[in-house]
Structure 1
Amino acid sequence: MNQFPMTVLGAESLRKELDHLKSVKRPQIIAAIADAREHGDLKENAEYHAAREQQGFCEGRIQEIEAKLSNAQIIDIKKMPNNGRVIFGATVSIENVDTGDEVTYRIVGDDEADIKKNLISVNSPIARAMIGKEVDDAFTLKTPANEVEYEIIKVEYI
């Protein structure tokens, strides 16, 4: 069974969602199904069918989260000595060599990635280009339009 890297925050987030689904959402759906059953004929009962569909989605998500957590390799970057190397979980500041623009990303698991929060997947092209590099190392990222050169200016294990 393959293990998937996940940060401590990513695992906590999934556990919270799982807890919410099991303790809040599931009972709400069960109550909605029971309520809809009381309305009589189930064949033409839209509320019943909607609740059953919601139940399917909810149970599917519960199974998905449980599977992800059981296959997760949770990595706590804060417990590792910072040797300046870009690894999974690191927060990396890079500078575009041509424009001087700086951006900071945290390298996370696929499920945690959110570009709006500067969380990039370990499997993304930019993360793959950075992994193993150190402060002051340069790397080139190929984009559909051109190639962009970046320099790593800071690596944090936070």
Structure 2
Amino acid sequence: MQSHTPFQIIDNSEIETDKVGFGNKVTIREEGKDEAEDYYLLGPIEFELDLYPLVVTYHSPFGQAIVGKKIDEDFTLEILGKETKFTITAIEKISAE
């Protein structure tokens, strides 16, 4: 019997860190805030994302806004009717550790 898992493991050597993409841990600072937060950019997810608030799919508006961005690059999202500016401060490979 074949098991269906909601994720697929990819080779860590295929993940790039020069710009935001699939498999990255991305550190993002919201304008006006002192602390940055880490987000994990993954593919389509078939389970409850509300259990993992820092996991972002590349299909989501937030994911689409950050894909392809580089460190120190800004992006803007409309959140609750207000334009909010963010800055990418770090891009790393997601680590299993």
Alignment partner of 2:77 out of 126, 135, 141: 141
Alignment partner of 2:61 out of 125, 129, 139: 125
Which has more strand, going by share of residues?
2
For residues 88 and 82 of structure 1, the distance between their equivalents in structure 2, rounded to whole angstroms, comes to: 8
Q: Determine the structure 1 residue equivalent to 2:40.
A: 106
Q: 1:156 to 1:124 in 2, by over 3 A?
A: same
Which deviates more from structure 2 when the two are superposed, residues 106-115 or residues 84-93? 106-115
Asked whether the 8 Å contact 1:89–1:106 carries over to 2, the reply is yes
Runs of 4+ in structure 1 deviating by more than 3 angstroms, as ranges, are none
Alignment of 1:1-158 (within 5 A): 18=3, 65=4, 74=8, 76=10, 78-80=12-14, 82-108=16-42, 109-111=44-46, 114-117=49-52, 118-158=54-94
Larger Rg: 1
Q: 1:87 to 1:81 in 2, by over 3 A?
A: closer
Cα deviation, residue 115, structure 1: 4.4
TM-score by length of 2: 0.75
Larger relative contact order (C-alpha < 8 A, sep ≥ 6)?
2
The count of residues paired between Structure 1 and Structure 2 equals 91
Cα deviation, residue 121, structure 1: 1.5
Please give the secondary structure, in 2, of the residue aligned with 1:126: helix
Q: 1:102 to 1:83 in 2, by over 3 A?
A: closer
Structure 2: runs of 5 or more not aligned: none
TM-score by length of 1: 0.49
Q: CA RMSD in A?
A: 2.6
Question: Structure 1 vs Structure 2: percent identity of aligned residues?
Answer: 22
Structure 1: runs of 5 or more not aligned: 1-14, 19-64
Letter matched to residue 55 of structure 2:
L
